[in-house]
């Protein structure tokens, strides 16, 4: 039985219809040798929504993100992004089309400042847009953009602070700013609240709802149900590599199969 619904519910209420699809996954499979990790996953992610993917350890969540972003090639199925089949594209080609991600573990240059970390990301992902500018003008443009991205995640105060002395929660926010340097259409966040304090988690929920919502589509891999329920428009539940349910948060939480398989309540 599926909890999939025809309406989507955001933290602020229910909308009458689903938004246009930005990402569509059809019959996606992934095997490593004889071990099948993804088993015919179907998923549609609407434009400018927050779509959470939850499930127990070993459900295939991170593998799904790796296949979506091109780190792993699928064993079968198809991935369509913005109407284009990207199933066989390399990571950098998907990134140029607007797919960006963060990782479970922090992935920053600890000896560089927050500003410098974002500038490095900008230099790598936007150089083709600034190619006609001279070196000085390009550096100034990247610095200005870096400042704006830090402000967008609430880290404007940390421009000159080295990444390795930031708190864990602030490092996670910096990773979001680094990912946003690619100006993505879809941002995949892989367990962004892992290791955060309760206060940092609340700040992250606020970041998603006040600064990112409506500006970028978000796919959120998350264990913290407070984060999921506080941000998600829709929730997809993976179990043993397959979609157990996909729908509005209230429907998912009331689904008896989800409660038994994931939430542990009858």
Q: Let me know whether 163 and 194 are in one domain.
A: no
Are 265 and 259 contacting, i.e. CB atoms less than 8 angstroms apart? yes
Q: Which domain holds residue 57?
A: 1-11+18-98+185-266
Query: What local confidence, expressed as pLDDT, does residue 5 receive?
Result: 39
Helix axes 135-152, 168-180, angle to 10 degrees: 130
The tally of domains found in the chain comes to 2
Query: In the chain, count of helices (H) and strands (E)?
Result: 9, 12
Query: What local confidence, expressed as pLDDT, does residue 137 receive?
Result: 55
22, two tokens: 């930005």
Q: Let me know whether 167 and 46 are in one domain.
A: no
pTM greater than the 0.85 cutoff: no
User: What's the mean pLDDT in 254-266?
Assistant: 72
Q: Let me know whether 68 and 190 are in one domain.
A: yes
Q: How many CA atoms lie within 13 A of 9 on its CB side?
A: 17
Are 80 and 23 contacting, i.e. CB atoms less than 8 angstroms apart? yes
Q: What is the pLDDT of residues 52-100, one digit of tens each?
A: 999 988 899 999 999 999 999 999 999 999 999 999 999 989 988 999 9
CA distances for 171 relative to 80, 105, 130, 211, angstroms: 31, 10, 27, 17
Q: Let me know whether 114 and 179 are in one domain.
A: yes
Are 25 and 35 contacting, i.e. CB atoms less than 8 angstroms apart? no
Chosen domain end from 183, 211, 228: 183
38: which strand partners? 30
Q: Let me know whether 24 and 71 are in one domain.
A: yes
Give the Cβ contact number of residue 16 at 10 Å.
7
Q: Let me know whether 190 and 82 are in one domain.
A: yes
CATH code for the domain of 215 = 3.40.50.300
Chosen domain end from 160, 183, 206: 183
Q: How confident is the model at residue 194 (pLDDT cuts 50, 70, 90)?
A: confident
The rounded mean pLDDT for the chain is 85
DSSP 162: B
Chosen domain end from 183, 198, 214: 183
Q: Let me know whether 173 and 53 are in one domain.
A: no
Query: What local confidence, expressed as pLDDT, does residue 6 receive?
Result: 37
Q: Let me know whether 7 and 86 are in one domain.
A: yes
Rg of the Cα trace of the chain?
19
Where do the H-state alpha helices sit in 54-98?
61-69, 91-96
Q: Let me know whether 174 and 224 are in one domain.
A: no
Are 232 and 64 contacting, i.e. CB atoms less than 8 angstroms apart? no
Q: Let me know whether 196 and 83 are in one domain.
A: yes
Q: Let me know whether 176 and 259 are in one domain.
A: no
């Amino acid at each position: 039985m599926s909890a999939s619904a025809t309406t989507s519910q955001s933290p602020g209420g229910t909308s009458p219809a689903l938004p246009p699809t930005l990402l569509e996954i059809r019959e996606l499979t992934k095997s490593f040798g004889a071990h099948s990790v993804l088993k015919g996953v179907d998923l549609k992610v609407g434009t400018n929504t927050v779509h959470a993917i939850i499930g127990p350890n070993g459900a295939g969540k991170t593998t799904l993100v790796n296949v979506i972003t091109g780190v792993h090639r699928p064993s079968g199925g198809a991935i369509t992004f913005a109407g284009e089949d990207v199933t066989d594209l390399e990571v950098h080609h998907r990134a140029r089309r607007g797919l960006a991600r963060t990782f479970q573990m922090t992935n920053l240059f600890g000896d560089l400042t927050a500003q410098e970390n974002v500038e490095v990301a900008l230099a790598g992902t936007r150089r083709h847009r600034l190619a006609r500018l001279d070196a000085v003008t390009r550096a100034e443009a990247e610095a200005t953009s870096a400042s704006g991205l830090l402000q967008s995640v609430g880290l404007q105060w940390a421009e000159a602070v080295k990444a390795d002395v930031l708190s864990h929660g602030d490092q996670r926010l910096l990773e979001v700013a680094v990912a946003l340097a690619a100006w993505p259409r879809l941002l995949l966040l892989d367990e962004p609240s892992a290791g955060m304090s309760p206060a940092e988690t609340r700040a992250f929920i606020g970041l998603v709802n006040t600064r990112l919502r409506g500006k970028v589509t978000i796919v959120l891999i998350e264990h913290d149900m407070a984060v999921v329920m506080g941000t998600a428009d829709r929730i997809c539940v993976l179990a043993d590599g397959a979609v157990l349910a996909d729908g509005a948060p209230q429907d998912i939480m009331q689904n008896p199969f989800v409660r038994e398989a994931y939430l542990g309540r009858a």
